[in-house]
Amino acid sequence: MQVIYKYELPFESGSIVMPAGAKLLDVQRQDEKPRMWAIVDSTARLVNRTIRCLGTGLDATEAAVPPGEYIGTVQFHWGRLVLHYFDGGEYPL
């Protein structure tokens, strides 16, 4: 069944467990935390999905942050902390 799930994201790069093949929709701030929404097949096997986070002004070269599809940007503390999230792909649990 196709459903939209919400995931809490870290304030740094990491991975989250989610169904394989999920389509990442958006990242926004909710309750002062970064959250991501994705369309998932709730019957699909679970995988780790790498989520890369890069703050404004930090090294964005490929060596520092391997390429990935842009998901969204979230601002905290009245715009003093701006985090940009990228999809780093999925890999087996």
* Portion of the chain with pLDDT greater than 70, in percent: 92
Whether residue 63 is predicted with pLDDT greater than 70 in this model: the reply is no
Would you say 91 and 51 are in contact if contact means Cβ atoms under 8 Å apart? no
Predicted pLDDT of residue 18: 98
- Closest to 53 in 3D by CA, of 84, 16, 81: 84
Q: Name the band, by pLDDT with cuts 50, 70 and 90, for residue 61.
A: confident
Those residues with Cβ within 8 angstroms of residue 31's Cβ, 6 or more apart along the chain or in another chain: none
Q: Name the band, by pLDDT with cuts 50, 70 and 90, for residue 64.
A: low
